[in-house]
Amino acid sequence: MADARDLIGRIGKVRPAQRSAGQSLHRPLLLLWAIAQAVHGRPREQPWSAVKHTVGPLLSEFAGAPQGHQAVLYPFWALQRNTLWEVAESADLPLTSQGRRPTLSVLDDMNPLAGLPKQDYDRLSKDLELAAWAVGNLLVRFFNPMPARLLAALDLEELMVGPIASYLRPLQGELYQHRGAIADVYGGNRVLGITPLADGLLTVYSDDKGPYDDQRIPGMDWIAYTGDGLSGDQTLSAGNRAMAEHQERRKALRYWHKPHRGRWTFETWAVIVQRRQRWGRGQDGLQRREFVWILAPVSSPMSDTWPREVVEALDQDDGQLHDDSIDVIPAEVDAPSKSERTSARQRYERLTAAAHRTAADRTHSSRLVQVERYLRSPAAREAVMLRSNDRCENPSCMGHPLERTDAGAPLLEVDHVNGLARTGQDVPELMIALCPNCHTLKTRGRERNTLQRDLLVVARTRHQAFLEKP
Ligand SMILES: [Zn+2]
């Protein structure tokens, strides 16, 4: 595995130049061709003239190079820097005045031999699983969606008969005790939450015990993944920048998950269908704006296999930030400026309006609307918290504990009076703030039906009263 990781790691570092028309695909194509030579037991080293005449047409067809034969010069020389390609006696070749590479006529005259380094060639020719992994990696990263004739033109159809994802490692479902164990096998950073493995493919980690509040969106398998940055407003840098780039270019990533007391699992491939922003609590206990990346699980990183609903969501996504932090501002951030009473009522009105707007969307069944409703549901909750004035709203409460949480919040649970399943509406007049005792009585007590009926009247009355505050 260590040998394989070394090779895959060097392939993972192949990062061709960005051009206005996209990535330059010259080096990935030459590398694919070279791997095919090893797979078929063809000579490791081949003369420039042969490489030029076989790879040239590939560059024209699949890398958009108008002068394919001449274009071979660039990867023929540059791939050496990735230590994945060797040009025999390259030190003896005269280079251009900038000292960058030999000219075409020098290569035509000298006709040097070139090919994969010997240990890589030997490894790939003996280990077809490794060869398929290497080919799969290059296809996912550079030829995605895959051009129809590509595998046939490279003579790699037999090697890649199955789904591309089945050739990549790790496989879905692989389990590891801790992050270090993943890195020992597949490389990559051991701490960061958003970071590639050695193979160059981005991976995101979600730890149920960790500081971030990542969640499956109720009723669907999509994931609300909190961005990078532990405290303070998150910025579009580091991991978040990598996520934005993946969103823009529709590149899949790996989603690893660690359930509470469980092990790390490569749970699924996923693609980012939306970027949102909301308020959340940082590790310092303070409210801050954080990114939420909406991940849609897919069975393969190859985009032509993605289900229609995911493609539709991607088509609907304008790549812009959807900001849930404007309507739904936590009370502790939105400190009242003028008279306490007036601004509390105004804030309650605004939160109620946001909750109603979101609730009105219920007729839409689009997945993105479901996502929005879920992420905006804090509006109703914040409103009820405001209305409660930090006290249990049950008039027959036997005593609300005065202790507060570490973050200074009261011990209150905001819930639907009748339970979400029956009413469904995330609006303040149907919700109530209860202390843990009363919450238990409401959900599990023998008299819960009577209590719920009474609390519904309480919620509506308090709601109306709050709106009519002077
Ligand atoms: Zn109570």
Cβ atoms of 371 and 222 closer than 8 Å: yes
> Is the confidence at residue 341, as pLDDT, over 60?
no
324: nearest Cα among 302, 357, 360: 357
Say whether both 263 and 380 belong to one domain. no
pLDDT of residue 420: 47
pLDDT of residue 414: 86
Say whether both 146 and 242 belong to one domain. no
What percentage of the chain has pLDDT greater than the value 70? 93
Instruction: Among 134, 167, 200, identify where a domain stops.
Output: 167
Say whether both 23 and 160 belong to one domain. yes
Split at pLDDT 50, 70, 90, the class of 331 is low
Say whether both 141 and 46 belong to one domain. yes
CA of 154 to the centre of ligand 1 (A): 71
- The mean pLDDT value for 77-95 works out to 93
- Residues constituting the chain: 470
Cβ atoms of 165 and 300 closer than 8 Å: yes
Distance CA 448, CA 438 (A): 10
CA of 463 to the centre of ligand 1 (A): 18
Say whether both 155 and 32 belong to one domain. yes
Residue 330 forms part of a structural domain: no
> Is the confidence at residue 338, as pLDDT, over 70?
no
Distance CA 400, CA 424 (A): 27
pLDDT tens by residue, 413-465: 888 887 644 445 778 999 999 999 999 999 889 999 999 999 999 999 999 99
Split at pLDDT 50, 70, 90, the class of 322 is confident
Decide which of 395 and 419 is more confident.
Answer: 395
Cis peptide before 145 (omega within 30 of 0): yes
CA of 445 to the centre of ligand 1 (A): 13
CA of 387 to the centre of ligand 1 (A): 15
Instruction: Among 167, 200, 225, identify where a domain stops.
Output: 167
CA of 408 to the centre of ligand 1 (A): 18
pLDDT tens by residue, 199-256: 999 999 999 887 777 788 877 889 999 999 989 999 999 999 999 999 999 999 999 9
217: nearest Cα among 349, 373, 5, 334: 373
Distance CA 430, CA 374 (A): 17
Q: Please, is 406 exposed, middle or buried when counting C-beta atoms within 10 Å of its C-beta (0-12, 13-18, 19+)?
A: exposed
Which secondary-structure segment (H or E) carries 136?
Answer: helix 128-142
CA of 452 to the centre of ligand 1 (A): 13
> Is the confidence at residue 135, as pLDDT, over 90?
yes
Residue 329 forms part of a structural domain: no
Distances (CA, A) of 408 to 290, 392, 397: 20, 16, 22
Residue 426 forms part of a structural domain: yes
Distance CA 185, CA 389 (A): 53
Structural domains in the chain (count): 3
Split at pLDDT 50, 70, 90, the class of 2 is low
Residue 333 forms part of a structural domain: no
266: nearest Cα among 297, 245, 306, 229: 297
pLDDT of residue 159: 97
E-only strand ranges, 45-196? 46-47, 86-87, 113-115, 175-176, 194-196
Window from 37-41, 128-132, 381-385, 458-462 with minimum mean pLDDT: 381-385
- Average pLDDT value over all residues in the chain: 89
Say whether both 157 and 40 belong to one domain. yes
Cβ atoms of 63 and 29 closer than 8 Å: yes
CA of 392 to the centre of ligand 1 (A): 5
Distances (CA, A) of 93 to 44, 99, 110, 179: 20, 11, 8, 46
CA of 441 to the centre of ligand 1 (A): 9
| DSSP symbol at 431 | E
Those residues whose beta carbon sits under 5 angstroms from the ion ligand 1 are 392, 394, 397, 435, 438
Decide which of 360 and 306 is more confident.
Answer: 306
Say whether both 14 and 155 belong to one domain. yes
- The mean pLDDT value for 112-138 works out to 97
Distance CA 62, CA 199 (A): 23
Say whether both 399 and 286 belong to one domain. no
Distance CA 83, CA 379 (A): 55
Distance CA 385, CA 462 (A): 12
Cis peptide before 401 (omega within 30 of 0): no
Residue 238 forms part of a structural domain: yes
User: How many C-alpha atoms does 254 have within 13 Å on its Cβ side?
Assistant: 29
Say whether both 408 and 286 belong to one domain. no
Instruction: Among 120, 141, 167, identify where a domain stops.
Output: 167
133: nearest Cα among 10, 268, 272: 10
CA of 419 to the centre of ligand 1 (A): 17
User: What SS3 class is residue 228?
Assistant: coil
Distance CA 24, CA 22 (A): 7
Distances (CA, A) of 117 to 2, 49, 78, 79, 327: 17, 19, 14, 11, 59
Residue 243 forms part of a structural domain: yes
- The residues that bridge with 3 in the sheet, in sequence order, are none
388: nearest Cα among 358, 355, 415, 420: 415
pLDDT of residue 308: 93
Other Cβ atoms less than 10 A from the Cβ of 352: the count is 22
Range of the domain at 229: 175-323
- The residues that bridge with 223 in the sheet, in sequence order, are 216, 295
Question: In degrees, to the nearest 5, what angle opens at C-alpha 17 toward C-alphas 15 and 19?
Answer: 135
Say whether both 154 and 202 belong to one domain. no
Strand bridging mode 18-19 / 223-226: unpaired
Residue 446 forms part of a structural domain: yes
Cβ atoms of 27 and 16 closer than 8 Å: yes
CA of 287 to the centre of ligand 1 (A): 26
- The mean pLDDT value for 275-302 works out to 92
CA of 377 to the centre of ligand 1 (A): 23
Split at pLDDT 50, 70, 90, the class of 264 is very high
Contacts of 40 (CB under 8 A, 6+ apart): 155
- The mean pLDDT value for 22-35 works out to 92
Say whether both 17 and 124 belong to one domain. yes
Residue 335 forms part of a structural domain: no
Which secondary-structure segment (H or E) carries 414?
Answer: strand 413-416
Cβ atoms of 139 and 75 closer than 8 Å: no
Residue type, 268: T
CA of 150 to the centre of ligand 1 (A): 67
Cis peptide before 170 (omega within 30 of 0): yes
Say whether both 187 and 110 belong to one domain. no
- Which CATH number goes with the domain that contains 288? 2.30.280.10
pLDDT of residue 406: 73
pLDDT of residue 422: 47
Residue type, 295: L
